[in-house]
A and B are shown apart, each in its own frame.
Chain A
Amino acid sequence: MKARIITRQKLCPDIFWYEISAPHVACRFQAGQFVIIQVHERGERIPLTVAEAHPERGTIVLVFQVVGKTTLELSLLKEGEEIENCVGPLGNPSEINFFGQVICVGGGTGIACLLPIVRALSAAGNEVISLIGSRSRDYLILEDKIKAVSSSLFIATDDGTRGERGLVTDVLERILEEEEVRGKIQRVIAIGPPLMMRKVAEITRPHRIKTIVSLNTIMVDGTGMCGSCRVFLGKAMKLACIDGPEFDAHRVNFDDVISRLEMFRAKERLAWAVYRQQLEARQMEIKTKVRAKEGTASHD
């Protein structure tokens, strides 16, 4: 099914918010799930975060960061244009229950993935403390939306341009020692770069707080057929697409998760470089044509 782009927004210099028409996904989406898209017929299939679903409008919201050729191509689509294929919702929904006090930690685009989870946890009556972070103010996304559904919100940026200076994990470490929350946190949910998630797991482990992470691995089909997304919990092999994407952070082998993300890096860099060159060549061509036109126009 083709998915038309209804609205296109730039959340920050390299992160986009696309509301796309996908009624089959919208009517079934639950917090924690994802979709796989293919931008065009020759494109690769990549898993993407769903930040919101609007069943009444038959739309979902994709939030993605430009990290390679596929996401760059996606970011160049305009409103009204179509994504060739979109399948989902895939993966298991988050466990939403009344836990009591919960901390949600989000970094980068992980904040978008976290949004529907925070919303659902709050709706289930939990007191949700949200911690979000990015490298600097201009790269911090969805602050208002997260704030609107959280009991309290803490922000950290690497350069201190918004909220505290430092990492969200520093904030987490501190909060867990604070009098009011000490021993009361029932669950921590962390979604962001793998290094951040690993750090969260390390921090919560001595506190013995159940900690959930959502793994964004390499995937192809997303339905348990290829095994590309395999992750290891101790010695047990799990597939992020159908067993996850959420797992017990204290059991995930993050070294393998991080290493496996590198598998196609050289090829991805090559595709990126070639595509950038093609884009530049195309722009040069357009410029030359415009100049040529202007040239003939001035002769008239």
Chain B
Amino acid sequence: MIKIRGQRVPVRELSPEQRIKNFSSVPLGYSAEEAVAEARRCIQCRGAPCEVNCPIHLRVLDMIRAIATRQFKEAFFLLKEDNPIPAITGRVCPQESQCEGVCPLAQDGQGINIGKLEAFIADWARERGIKEEIVIKERPHRVAIIGSGPAGLICAYDLRRWGYQVTVFEALHKAGGVLQYGIPAFRLPTEVVDYEIALLEEIGVNFQLNFFVGQNIAFDELRHKYEAIFIGTGAGAPLFLGIEGEHLKGVYSANEFLIRVNLMKAYRFLEYDTPIVCGDRAGVIGAGNVAMDAARCARRLGAREVFILYRRTRKESPARVEEIHHALEEGVTWMELVAPKRILGDEQGWVRGIELVRMKLGEPDASGRPRPIPIEGSEFVLELDTVVEALGTTPNRLFLKHAPELAVNRWGLIQVDEKLQTNLKGVWAGGDAVRGNATVILALGDGRQAAAAIHRVLSPEKLG
């Protein structure tokens, strides 16, 4: 039995009352003293399960040791070598199912807060303008990266460091992909994302915004112009339930709701021009991270009652524990074992409610989670004036339409080999475009792996 080395150093946070009035970051992050105290709790166990269980095998123990001895700069450089965007992953990784989940101290709920330590170091360096020195030896090869989300950004970063001429194509007017349009500022402050993108521009990555590959240039032409292509187009297309009433005013996909709020800053309407309408009673269908984000945005937009409507139970929810915890703290009501049957509207075409049916859990399904089964005759109506559907997303079919020669599976996910190469010569793919709804850290790992593969093909002499 491992002895607990004290309690986890708590993370200071805005109080729920303060938070729901703004979009400021909820966790205030560790101070230097707090970070050192937390780092010193680490027992530096042999085998480092945290590193093994990290999708990119971050050198967690070395980082923690450096923090424990107050060598913050060293910790930062070490961290940066493995992970170019620690300020982001420290905030959005599902740590409880990765590094922190396997910490021996976690058995008593006192696992090392690796995410917050990671974010601390990254923030510490950002606030002091400390950057790793990058010396670039130019190479003539041109590489195109489609999509500026986490996979594309990391791929661009690595390839540029190795001297390639890198152009990132982004359809929106801001780079960052889901980091920009999807994750709300109270979870991932906009300035953190902007800072990382500015760093890429600084080292000479060329961003072509407002540019949709397929619409602005034929995919084939792009292949001729660039020696290698990485596709990181994500999974940005919303799914709808396909039930009655989805045409009603007040019904949003979570994507629309979050794009309006995050990318377009609709929560600062009049200062910004994009409107959003959120009523007093909002229902969010689904219980993943995106559902939590939408529910918490709805609270901040003034909804008095916000319901998470989920057909399974909290145990099966794919959301980060911290997000569920924050959502509940902010007064979001958790309503589980219910499934929507139809959305009800008034004569003017506005949402007035939703008909739900109660569910019970049956045998495990393909996802390994118990299958929810409707209980006949248990239908009831919940009054709502806003409905947000957070059912997950699929790859963008507009891009795929323009690249018909690209092999995809029946869900529209791009097929790749173990080196992330597609069926097309010189074309690699990774992130959600390949995996479906996955995580930032997995996209990061893919971007990195693809960059290495591209490097190997374009500069084979280096490998010796």
Point out residues on A near B: beta carbons under 8 Å.
Answer: 1, 24-25, 28, 38, 42-45, 69-70, 84-90, 220-221, 223-228, 230, 232, 237, 242, 253, 256, 259-260, 262-264, 266-268, 270-271, 274
Contact = CB atoms under 8 A, between A and B. Distances in A.
10 contacts: A1-B209, A44-B272, A70-B273, A85-B210, A220-B259, A225-B236, A225-B259, A226-B259, A263-B277, A267-B275
Contact of A226 (B217, B238, B348): B238
Nearest to B182: A225
B275 A256 contact: no
A227 B171 contact: no
B273 A44 contact: yes
Given A28-B216, A87-B171, A263-B249, A43 B273 contact: yes
A236 to B, nearest CB: 10
B333 interface: no
Contacts of B238: 225-227
Contact of B277 (A42, A69, A232, A267): A267
A270 B277 CA distance: 13
A232 B259 CA distance: 22
B174 to A, nearest CB: 9
A227 B253 contact: yes
Contacts of B265: 42
Contact of B274 (A25, A87, A220, A260): A220
Interface stretch (B7-15, B74-82, B187-195, B240-248): B240-248
Contact of B349 (A84, A89, A226, A262): A262
Interface of B: 171-173, 181, 209-212, 215-217, 236-238, 240, 242, 246-247, 249-250, 252-253, 255-256, 259-260, 264-265, 269-277, 348-349, 396-398
A223 B273 contact: no
Question: Which of B215, B273, B275, B397 has the most A CB atoms < 10 Å from its CB?
Answer: B273
A38 to B, nearest CB: 6
A6 B180 CA distance: 32
Nearest to A84: B173
A226 B253 contact: yes
A24 B211 contact: yes
A74 B98 CA distance: 49
Question: Which of B210, B249, B260 has the most A CB atoms < 10 Å from its CB?
Answer: B210
A44 B276 CA distance: 11
A42 B271 contact: yes
Contacts of B237: 224-225
Contacts of B173: 38, 45, 84-85, 87
A267 B274 CA distance: 9
A111 to B, nearest CB: 25
Given A223-B398, A260-B249, A87 B273 contact: no
B247 A256 contact: yes
A230 B247 contact: yes
Contact of B215 (A88, A227, A256, A263): A88
A220 B264 contact: yes
A223 B212 contact: yes
A110 to B, nearest CB: 23
Contacts of B260: 220, 226
B264 A90 contact: no
A84 B348 CA distance: 36
Contacts of A262: 249, 349
B274 A259 contact: no
B396 A225 contact: yes
Contacts of A45: 173, 264, 274
Contacts of B252: 227-228
B255 A271 contact: no
A92 to B, nearest CB: 9
A242 B246 CA distance: 19
A35 B386 CA distance: 29
A198 to B, nearest CB: 15
Given A43-B273, A223-B398, A87 B255 contact: no
A43 to B, nearest CB: 5
B275 A268 contact: yes
Contacts of A267: 269, 275-277
Given A220-B259, A223-B398, A271-B275, 8 more contacts: A43-B273, A84-B173, A221-B171, A221-B172, A223-B396, A225-B255, A230-B240, A268-B275
Given A223-B212, A223-B396, A226-B253, A42 B240 contact: no
A84 B264 CA distance: 14
A247 to B, nearest CB: 15
B210 A270 contact: no
Given A224-B397, A227-B255, A267-B277, A274 B349 contact: no
